[in-house]
Amino acid sequence: MNSYLPILIMVGVSLAISTSMVVGSFLLGPKKPSVAKSSPYECGMVPVGNARERFPIKFYLIAMLFIIFDVETIFLYPFAVVYRDQAYAMKVFYLTEMAVFSAILFVGYFYILGKGALDWDGSDRAKSPDSTSAEVLAPRPALRFGNEKSGDVDLDLMAHNVSVPMFGASSQEERLPGRVATVGDREE
Partner 1 sequence: MSPLLFWILAVVSVGAAVLMITTKNPVRSALALVTTFLCVAVYYITLSAQFIAAVQVIVYAGAIMVLFLFVIMLLNLGAPQALEEKGSLQPVIAWSLGGILLLTLTAARSLFTLNSPQAGANVYEPLGTVRAIGLNLFDPAQPWLFPFEMTSILLLVATVGAIIMAKRQV
Partner 2 sequence: MSDLFNGIFPEYWAGIHLPSLVPYIAMVGSFAFVLGILPMLIWIERVVIALMQDRKGPNRVGPRGLLQPPADVLKLFFKEDITPGNVDKWLYYIAPMITVTLAFAGSATLATAVMNFRAENGDVFSLPVSVGDVNVGLLYILGISSLQVYGIILAGWSSNNKYSLLGGLRASAQLISYELSMGLSLLCVVILVGSLKVGSIVEAQNVMPFGIAERPEWWWQMFKGSFLSWFWIGSGLIPVIIYTISMIAETNRAPFDLPEAESELVAGFHTEYSSMKFAMFFSGEYVAMLTVSGLNAAVFWGGSLPPLNILPLTLVPGFIWFIIKIMMGIFLYTWLRATLPRLRYDALMNLGWKRMLPLGLVWLFILAALTLHSEGSKGRDTVPAAPVAEIKAPAVRGTRSARN
The residues of the shown chain that bind partner 2, judged by CB under 8 A, are: 3-7, 9-11, 13-15, 17-19, 21-22, 24-26, 28-33, 37-43, 47, 51-53, 55, 59, 62-63, 65-66, 69-70, 73, 76-77, 79-88, 91-92, 95, 98-99, 102, 106, 109, 113, 118-121
CA-wise closest residue to 50 among 42, 59, 58: 42
The nearest distance, CB 33 to partner 1, in angstroms, is 23
Please enumerate in sequence order all residues whose Cβ is within 8 A of that of 184, keeping only pairs 6 or more positions apart, or say none.
149, 150
Please enumerate in sequence order all residues whose Cβ is within 8 A of that of 47, keeping only pairs 6 or more positions apart, or say none.
39, 40
CB-nearer residue toward partner 2: 102 or 163: 102
Q: Which amino acid is at 136?
A: V
Residues, the chain, total?
188
List the single partner that 158 binds among partner 2, partner 1, none, CB under 5 to 8 Å by kind.
Answer: none
CA-wise closest residue to 143 among 133, 131, 130, 152: 152
CB-nearer residue toward partner 2: 29 or 139: 29
109 exposed, middle or buried (CB, 10 Å; 0-12, 13-18, 19+)?
Answer: middle
List the single partner that 26 binds among partner 1, partner 2, none, CB under 5 to 8 Å by kind.
Answer: partner 2
The nearest distance, CB 137 to partner 1, in angstroms, is 27
**Helix, strand, coil percent values for the chain (each to nearest 5):** 60, 0, 40
List the single partner that 71 binds among partner 1, partner 2, none, CB under 5 to 8 Å by kind.
Answer: partner 1
List the single partner that 173 binds among partner 1, partner 2, none, CB under 5 to 8 Å by kind.
Answer: none
CA-wise closest residue to 145 among 159, 161, 166, 163: 159
Interface with partner 1 (CB under 8 A): 1, 4, 8, 52-55, 57, 59-61, 63-68, 70-72, 74-75, 77-79, 81-82, 93-94, 97-98, 100-102, 104-105, 107-109, 111-112, 115-117, 123, 126
Can you say how many angstroms the Cα of residue 172 is from the centroid of all Cα atoms in its chain?
41
Distance CA 151, CA 145 (A): 8
CB-nearer residue toward partner 2: 11 or 169: 11
